C-alpha cells in the first residue's frame, strides 16, 4: 500500500484480541502481547501497542509492539526512547516509519526511536525519517525439518560436535519448572560475563532470580520455549531459548558451562529444537543473527557468524534504524545553558 498512514498508539490492549490480529496478519514473536510485556519488564519501561491505519480508508494496515524506555536517572531533560523490536506486520504501509516519526514528534518528551528489525519480512523506510543512522545485521533462517534432516544440512564440524555431545551422554528436553529457569539464568549470566571479558560485549544480569521469573512468565504466556541439556541424573549444563508465536520461532538466548560448550552441547540443543519446533508446525525458524561486520574475519563476532553458518541456515540481511527526533538539539542547548549558570 503506497498511501500515507497514521499510527495509533495504546498503552494497553486485550491480549487475546491483539494476538489474534497479529496471527491473522502472519506476525511473529516480536509482534506479540507477551513479548511487549516481557521486554517492558526487562527494560524498566511501559509496553506500547501500535496500529497503522490508511489515511484514506481508515483500514488497519499494520501492527507492532514497542516499549517506552525512561531516560537515565538525572537526565530526564533528554526524554524517553521508544523501542520497536521489528517492522510492523501487515499489508503496509510503505511509510510506516515516517508515520511513527510524525506521531512521536507530536508527543511530549520523546527523544529517539529505536526501530529494530528482528525476524522482519520487510524494512523501515529510512530516507523519509530525517536524522537517522543505520545498523546492518545478518540473521540465519533454518529450514523447518526433522532432526536428522536438520543435522544433515549442517557443516561437517558442526555434525562432529553433535556426535561428540551425544557420545558424552548429553540429552535435550524442554524446561520443566522454575528450577530449570533459575539454572539457565545462572548459565546465561556466566556466558555474558565470559563474552564481556573476552570480547568486550556489553550486557550482564544483576539479578538472576528476577531474570528467571521473567523468562518463566514469558514461556507460560506462550511467548517462548526453553530447551535444556544435561546427562541423566545430572544438573542442567546448557540451555537455549526460542521466542515463539503462531508459526514463527526465533533463537533468542543461550547459556552453557565451559565443559558443555567444548563438548558441542549447544549445536545438539539447536538440532533438537529445530526438529521439535518443526514438528510443532513452525513455518519459520530463525537462528538469530550477528552484526553485518561479523562477516569480516577480523571481527570479534566472526566466530559466531561462522557458527551460525555451520548450522546450515540461510543468511538474510536486515537493517535497523536509530532516529533522533527534532527536539533533541533544543534540549541539548537548554541543558548547556543551565550548566553555565
- How far does the chain reach from its first CA to its final CA, in angstroms? 52
How confident is the model at residue 310, as a pLDDT?
97
The pTM of this model reads: 0.90
Residue whose C-alpha cell reads 570480547 in the numeric block = 199
Beta strands in 70-153, from DSSP E residues, in sequence order: 80-84, 110-115, 132-142
Domains delineated in the chain: 5-136+319-340 (3.40.630.30), 144-281 (3.40.630.30)
Task: Determine the pLDDT at residue 128.
Answer: 58
250-268, pLDDT tens digit by residue? 999 999 999 999 999 999 9
Sheet strands side by side (includes 284-291):
5-10, 46-54, 60-69, 80-84, 110-115, 314-324, 132-142, 284-291, 248-256, 238-245, 224-230, 171-174
Residue 51 in contact with residue 88, Cβ under 8 Å?
no
Segment among 18-32, 99-113, 121-135 with least mean pLDDT: 121-135
**Mean pLDDT, range 142-164, rounded to an integer:** 97
Q: Tell me: the pLDDT tens digits for 170-222? A: 999 999 999 999 999 999 999 999 988 887 777 778 899 999 999 999 999 99
pLDDT of 286: 98
Is residue 339 very low, low, confident or very high in pLDDT (cuts 50, 70, 90)? Answer: very low
pLDDT tens digit sequence for 65-82: 999 998 876 555 568 999
Amino acid at each position: 500500500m503506497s498511501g500515507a498512514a497514521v499510527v495509533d498508539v495504546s498503552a494497553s490492549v486485550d491480549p487475546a484480541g491483539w494476538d489474534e490480529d497479529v496471527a491473522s496478519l502472519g506476525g511473529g514473536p516480536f509482534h506479540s502481547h507477551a513479548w511487549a510485556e516481557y521486554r517492558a519488564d526487562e527494560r524498566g519501561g511501559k509496553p506500547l501497542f501500535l496500529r497503522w491505519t490508511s489515511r484514506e480508508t481508515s483500514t488497519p494496515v499494520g501492527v507492532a509492539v514497542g516499549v517506552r524506555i525512561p531516560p537515565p536517572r538525572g537526565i530526564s531533560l533528554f526524554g524517553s526512547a521508544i523501542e520497536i523490536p521489528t517492522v510492523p506486520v501487515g499489508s503496509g504501509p510503505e511509510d510506516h516509519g515516517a508515520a511513527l516519526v510524525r506521531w512521536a514528534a507530536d508527543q511530549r518528551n520523546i527523544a529517539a526511536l529505536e526501530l529494530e528489525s528482528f525476524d522482519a519480512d520487510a524494512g523501515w523506510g529510512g530516507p523519509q525519517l530525517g536524522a537517522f543512522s543505520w545498523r546492518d545485521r545478518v540473521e540465519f533462517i533454518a529450514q523447518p525439518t526433522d532432526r536428522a534432516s536438520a543435522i544433515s544440512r549442517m557443516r561437517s564440524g558442526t555434525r562432529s560436535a553433535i556426535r561428540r555431545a551425544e557420545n558424552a551422554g548429553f540429552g535435550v528436553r524442554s524446561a520443566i519448572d522454575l528450577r530449570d529457569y533459575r539454572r539457565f539464568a545462572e548459565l546465561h549470566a556466566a556466558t555474558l560475563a565470559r563474552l564481556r571479558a573476552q570480547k568486550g560485549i556489553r550486557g550482564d544480569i544483576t539479578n538472576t532470580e528476577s531474570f528467571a521469573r521473567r523468562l518463566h512468565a514469558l514461556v507460560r504466556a506462550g511467548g517462548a520455549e526453553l530447551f535444556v541439556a544435561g546427562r541423566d541424573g545430572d544438573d542442567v549444563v546448557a540451555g537455549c531459548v526460542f521466542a515463539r508465536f503462531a508459526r514463527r520461532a526465533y533463537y533468542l538466548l543461550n547459556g552453557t558451562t565451559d565443559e558443555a560448550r567444548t563438548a558441542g552441547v549447544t549445536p545438539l540443543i539447536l538440532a533438537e529444537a529445530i526438529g521439535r519446533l518443526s514438528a510443532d508446525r513452525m513455518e519459520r525458524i530463525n537462528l538469530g543473527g550477528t552484526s553485518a561486520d561479523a562477516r569480516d574475519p577480523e571481527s570479534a563476532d566472526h566466530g559466531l557468524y561462522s557458527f551460525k553458518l555451520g548450522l546450515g541456515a540461510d543468511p538474510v540481511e536486515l537493517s535497523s534504524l536509530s532516529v533522533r527526533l527534532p527536539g533533541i538539539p533544543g534540549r541539548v542547548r537548554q541543558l548547556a545553558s543551565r550548566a553555565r549558570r
